[in-house]
Structure 1
Amino acid sequence: MKFYTFFPIILCLFFSIHAPCQTLDTIYVNDRQVVSLSFTDPIQTAMTGSPNFAFNFNREQAENLGLLQAEKKQTSNLLVRTTTGNLYSFILAYREHLPQLHYFINPDQGLKNPFQHSINRASAQDSIQKTASVKEQHFTLLCTQLLHKKSSPHHNKQRKGIRIKLMQRVYHDDHVYMVYELKNRSTIPYALGQFQLSKVLGTPKRKASYQELPITPLFEFKMPKQIGPSSSVRFVVVYPKFTMNTGQRLQVKVLEAQGSRNLILKLR
């Protein structure tokens, strides 16, 4: 096995010896649902402590998203290194009913470097926050304008009283703005568990050739957590501009948090 496989582990042990004790966050997974992790920087390397836990990420082109799933009811850990050199460590635990299906990981959750001066760290953090704030304001302005613009659905799918519509797809700069509408026509509240846009190749019936490549959102505007009975919500999700390879198509997967009212909207 090559040395670079162990490099993140060596750094992690070094930091844990020289730095103050740091409490690790616990991420719950099971063998029936996929848990996604979004990092602020693309993932470079990652590994789990046990082969019964699988962490998948794009190894060909660095992306911010990783997917977790478990095979057995055990406890393990996950170590992730991003392209900026940040290290993240988490406890992995099996649970039948998951408290959440997506985790946004921020730099504050990373392992602390004992040799990094607090002044430089604060200065870098301020710079990141200012840049993020400007970008967030830009996204918010355009998303607000899109929600106020009249539009007709381009694609829609309905199942068990739940309907998902793609209202608009707008390209601006290096981003794709997609306006969705989620409608609950039933008498039971709908709790949104997962909302994921993916590039898809092949069909689920042929598992060997089937691939789903999730597209990590950059910004979510008015994304609902729950839709009440006989209610509808419009929201905007901003993605990085992407291209489609031959044979690929887009799909939106909508999963209920604690239920079976799930939808797959095929866009291409």
Structure 2
Amino acid sequence: MRFRFIILLFALLYFVDIGACQLSNEPIHVTANSNVTITFFFPSPIIKLVKPSDNFIFKYKANSTMGTLTARKGPPSNLTVITENGNIYSFTLTYETEVANFTFILSEDQAIGTIPLSAIEKITGKTYTDVKERLPDNKVRDTSYRQTSLPNNTNYSEVKIEAFRSSAKSTKIQDKTKMDKGLYDVNKKDYYGIFCENNYVQPPKIKDASNTVNLIKVQLNNILKDRSELYFVLEIKNNSEIDYKVKRLRFFVKSRKNNSKLEIEQLYLYNLFKTISAHSKNNLVFVSKKFQLAADQKVYVLLEEEDGQRSVLLPLDIVDEINRI
């Protein structure tokens, strides 16, 4: 009897249109804190949010496919994002001091469900003709998607999730390679630039990581890892009365045993000024491939001045920091 009741209840919930998530698409788990910005790239513009609790802040601009998330210490929460092609994305959010993933490039494959075109029109104020241009062909023409009209008094902040048909799994497998190809694979420099823009201002997290020469201070504030790259977050302060013209910035690894020196290849350099004005500072990021250090090795940062004598060499004893991330 109890088993029959459970089956009946499940059927009732389905037919009164309380949408079920596709079983293979669980909410995406995201960790965040106040020191880094998590960036999301959606395949279609964001049109609606079900916001998380106040300790999580999600921002986006109108007609944008990109959103950003920061967090203060507090309880876990959840975020729901609806995009203009009707997809619904679900995220579980937790505050953590260490963040595992800084960038999420999402595909339609990762949506937990979809809303009907009538609901999209209600949210955006656009007609069906306007919206269908942003919809994949299979969602416009495939009538096996269960899309029903919602009442006019629907609260769209609590819009119900429609289930994807289970046979979509075969399409998902066929298109996986195509969908996995995101900005990182297509244009790494653009990817680096966006990541750096969201993380180039960091509070100091590494001890004894600064050096000052003639009132020019170079400081390493943090080291971040994303995918197979390291991001060295730096700050240069010109506390002198004279502008500082930058010639170049270089990174080296040097061994104490044999005094050998190896220059670290620069993949990308973000926001290094050509001239750092008197009594000002410059926040920047140096990007390199991930590498490991031996116990006797140090990293050296060399800031060289153009036509001047105020070059700064910053030695960094960061074996533990480099090898554990």
Interval containing the TM-score (normalised by the shorter chain): 0.3 to 0.5
TM-score under structure 2 length normalisation: 0.39
Higher gyration radius (CA):
2
TM-score under structure 1 length normalisation: 0.47
Structure with greater proportional strand content: 1
